[in-house]
Amino acid sequence: MDRTEEYLESLLPSSPSWAEEMEKFAKDHQIPIMEPLGIQYLMQLIRVTRPRRILEIGAAIGYSALRMLEAYPMAEIVTVERDAVRFSQAETNLEKLDEHNHIALMYGDALELQEQISQKGPYDVLFIDAAKGQYQKFFESYAPMVTEKGIIVSDNVLFKGFVAGRNDNPRMQKIGNKIRKYNEWLIEHPDYHTSIIPIGDGIALTVKR
């Protein structure tokens, strides 16, 4: 972490106790959740846009969905998770905070659930934070369900420096190469404007032209 990032993190507000517990659990069990600066940026986007409905691809343990709801409690969130263990952990976390009325947790592969997810839409925010090699497919499947003035957020688009050529881990570099192709495809897409924000692990913010 460089000094600028350290400084910015020092300015962040404290997380609620439930969020701190989830952050510790994720760290202890090596479960990837959004980095502190990234989640605060996402929460600010939610506060500004005040979306009626949010679709999240990649629930993990439910952390980001709960933080987005914290940012705007009037939102309805649909979040999808295909890993059985993480789905169960997310379910437990939602039950603990009694947020099933606002967050619909769906089990399965998002690329196989388009019909069910479509029935709950349209969506004002699409948040993509799942299998990195599938980002383009997720985008192509779900961007059409986003409202005309909605936003699409893709997390991890800088992927720990591997998109920029860091090459000290061949497996990670392979994933980084896929994300790099996604970034290029997204930036060049004729129907969307995209900016990549170098915060957290890199966030792409996309809107319709």
The reply to whether 110 sits in an annotated binding site is yes
**Residue 71 among known ligand-binding residues:** no
Helix, strand, or coil (residue 95): helix
Q: Say whether 83 counts as a known binding-site residue.
A: no
Q: Are the CB atoms for 72 and 50 separated by under 8 Å?
A: yes
Q: Does 201 count as an annotated binding residue?
A: no
| Residue 177 is assigned to a ligand binding site | no
| Residue 129, marked binder | yes
Within 10 angstroms of residue 97's Cβ, the number of other Cβ atoms is 18
Distance CA(83)–CA(1), nearest Å, equals: 30
User: Is the dihedral angle over the CA atoms 129, 135, 140, 143 positive or is it negative?
Assistant: positive
DSSP assignments along 18-85, one per residue: HHHHHHHHHHHTT-----HHHHHHHHHHHHHH--SEEEEE--TTSHHHHHHHHH-TT-EEEEEE--HH
The CA-atom distances, in angstroms, between 189 and each of 50, 56, 126, 155, 185 are 26, 21, 17, 18, 6
The answer to whether the annotation marks 64 as part of a ligand binding site is: yes
Residue ranges for the known binding site for S-adenosyl-L-methionine are 34, 64, 81, 109-110, 129
Residue ranges for the known binding site for Mg(2+) are 129, 155-156
Residue ranges for the known binding site are 34, 64, 81, 109-110, 129, 155-156
